[in-house]
Structure 1
Amino acid sequence: MDKLIWAFRALCYSAFFGKFGLPSYLGKPIFLKGIRYVFIGRKVRIFPHLRMETLAGGSIHIKDDVVISQNVHITSAGTLEIGKSSLILANVFITNIDHDYTEIGAHVVKQKILVKETKIGDNCFIGMGAAIMAGTILGKQCIVGANSVVRGVFPDYCVIVGSPAKIVKKYNPQTKVWEKTGE
């Protein structure tokens, strides 16, 4: 029954998004801002309590067949992309924004924002509570461990964990095995 309500909600909200591919559904969001710059593909499942916002002409592109679990916060002031068939678990934060903090005596919120490209590749898995920070590029089928704080460029087929996150495994196409990296 919930999913029928979520599908109806998606249909009602779809006119306000830049694109909202169907059949997709949307659980009850907490906060949406600038969603005319949010482009959602087909078969996207968004669970309740989403906070999604675009600022300063930013955009968010969520490709086909993505699952976004509950309590996820996505914010963009540039172009932020989530690749097709990715799974984002609960309590995840994804951004392409950093706040400048260098002006002494000025509130951080009143200082300029710094935008760095952030992209999640196709078929990625983002574990519960992870933070995908500005300037992060994840290749295809990257696995991000729970509560990891991720910043940087990561190649296809790797497992990333920790705070700060590091690669701990990579897929070896010759042996067809996920191998520890020793890093």
Structure 2
Amino acid sequence: MMDKILWGIRALCYAPFFGKFGMPSYLGKPVFLKGIRNIIIGKKVRILPHLRMETQNGGTIEIEDDVVISQNVHITSAGQLKIGKRSLILANVFITNIDHDYTEIGKHVVKQKITVKETTIGENCFIGMGAAIMPGTVLGKQCVVGANSVVKGVFPDYCVIVGSPAKIIKKYNQETQIWEKISG
């Protein structure tokens, strides 16, 4: 309980530096924050310690209301990156909309151009421990991403996505109200 009170005080201290910081939200001690003027935090957002969050080249990060972000999460954006309300992101997750070009032989990858593809996590999603959400990923509402999955692409509402590369293994059937396995 005392930790959460301290994290709430920390949030109040950091709030003026963000683009927006909704209350009551709390923030565990971050590892690294860059470009926080371009980061919008909704109400009742809980961020545990060791977050690394950065924007560059005018990119934005929007975290909607009632999101929980566990420890050791890295989020980076040079375009638009959005995390929908009531989502849960477990520990050691990486979320980005940035990719580095690597095609110039003999040139360090960091010195090559970057490509940016909008990344969106829908509302009420669950991102399992150690997952990587890659540039251009769009998750619909209430998607479940399995632990250690590498996710890239567009996924519809109400599906379970696992693997590397991640694939849909279940979808929610609204008629039968059952999560059904996907064959093949």
Q: 1:161 matched to which residue of 2? A: 162
Q: Which amino acid aligns with 1:12?
A: C
Q: 1:62 matched to which residue of 2? A: 63
Distance 1:113 1:4 in 2: 40
Tell me if 1:48 matches 2:49. Answer: yes
Identical positions, percent: 80
Q: Secondary structure at the match of 1:52?
A: strand
Unaligned runs of 5+ in 2: none
Q: Secondary structure at the match of 1:32?
A: strand
Q: How does 1:37-116 map to 2 (within 5 A)?
A: 37-116=38-117
Structure 1 residue 182 displacement after superposition:
1.1
Q: Which amino acid aligns with 2:11?
A: A
Q: Which amino acid aligns with 1:99?
A: H
The two structures have a TM-score, normalised by structure 2, of 0.99
Tell me if 1:150 matches 2:167. Answer: no
Q: Deviation digits for residues 139-180 of structure 1, max 9, x if unmatched?
A: 000000000000000000000000000000000001000000
Distance 1:98 1:58 in 2: 13
Tell me if 1:174 matches 2:178. Answer: no
Distance 1:160 1:117 in 2: 19
Q: Secondary structure at the match of 2:49?
A: coil
Q: Which amino acid aligns with 1:76?
A: S
The two structures have a TM-score, normalised by structure 1, of 1.00
Unaligned runs of 5+ in 1: none
Q: Which amino acid aligns with 1:125?
A: F
Q: 1:127 matched to which residue of 2? A: 128
Structure 1 residue 83 displacement after superposition:
0.1
Structure 1 residue 90 displacement after superposition:
0.1
Q: Secondary structure at the match of 2:13?
A: helix
Q: 2:17 matched to which residue of 1? A: 16
Q: Deviation digits for residues 10-48 of structure 1, max 9, x if unmatched?
A: 000000000000000000000000000000000000000
Q: Secondary structure at the match of 1:12?
A: helix
Q: Which amino acid aligns with 1:145?
A: G
